[in-house]
Structure 1
Amino acid sequence: MENLQGTVPRAEPFSADLLRGHTDTIVLGMLGNAERYGFEIYKLIRDATGGLYEIKEATLYATYRRLVKDGLVEASWGDETQGGRRKYYRITDAGRAVYHQNVSDWTATQRIINTLLTVKGTLE
């Protein structure tokens, strides 16, 4: 669909900086229902956003190491039946608690921001 200037509008812009602060929560959420290997998580994030957001692999692997060190995720090596040896990650009970707290914090923050953005007298 074209706009008045005859160009196709691009996808809604977003701030990757806002998402970057939530990498741990995103990864913990991806591990909520299943044990997954590192690159699989990368693909899930990319595919879930239709390719609009990709976390750099180096950032993800640093996140995995930090989450393991903090006891929020456990790591184990898989077998080599499907090619190269993969490291699998699974969320711990502590990780689930942190995930739920972070989602609760995000929901409260979102509610406050939405309220402030709709205050009468603000730009429209």
Structure 2
Amino acid sequence: MAQEISKDMIRGLTGAIVLSVLEFEDSYGYQISKQIKQITDDRYELNEATLYTVFRRLSAQGFVKSYYGNDDENQGGRRKYYSLTESGKKELNRSRTDWEFSKEIVDALLQEKKNG
């Protein structure tokens, strides 16, 4: 059986993951979901319901803004694109710093051999 990451373990990081994907270019929901799958070699997938919940939260916090694109190739409705705001860039940097600190603490706590 293939190993999967616990949804509980990654739940607090979904906002930072989306901000990271948006760091270099604006994108829309389906494309972001595909990018996350590709980046993780199909080991993690952010489902659509979770993704749009994250978009709403990040928008309310002022970390992303949205706009409708002019997609000629799209046969359906216009795509809603998301872009990183300056506040979003700062939040992404803060999230990365927090993650590095958290990794150090969890690594120390989960070591097989304890000191003292």
When the two structures are superposed, what TM-score results if normalisation uses the length of structure 1? 0.83
Specify the alignment match of 2:108 in structure 1: 115
Equivalent AA in structure 2 for residue 21 of structure 1: G
Specify the alignment match of 1:35 in structure 2: 26
Identity across aligned pairs (percent)?
38
**What is the alpha-carbon root mean square deviation over aligned residues?**
1.7
1:119 Cα deviation from its structure 2 partner: 5.8
Which consecutive unaligned segments of at least 5 residues does structure 1 have?
1-9
Greater Cα offset, 68-77 or 13-22: 13-22
Say if 2:96 is the partner of 1:97.
Answer: no
1:50 Cα deviation from its structure 2 partner: 1.7
Contact 2:4–2:44, Cα closer than 8 Å, also in 1: no
CA distance in 1, matches of 2:2, 2:68: 39
Specify the alignment match of 2:47 in structure 1: 56
Contact 1:31–1:90, Cα closer than 8 Å, also in 2: yes
Specify the alignment match of 1:88 in structure 2: 81
Structure with the higher fraction of residues in helix conformation: 2
Equivalent AA in structure 2 for residue 98 of structure 1: E
Considering Cα pairs closer than 8 Å and 6+ residues apart, tell me whether 1 or 2 has the greater RCO.
2
- The structure-2 alpha-carbon separation of the partners of 1:60 and 1:99, relative to structure 1 and needing over 3 Å to count, comes to same
Residue of structure 1 aligned with 2:14, choices 2, 12, 23: 23
- The structure-2 alpha-carbon separation of the partners of 1:39 and 1:13, relative to structure 1 and needing over 3 Å to count, comes to closer
Residue of structure 2 aligned with 1:77, choices 52, 68, 72: 68
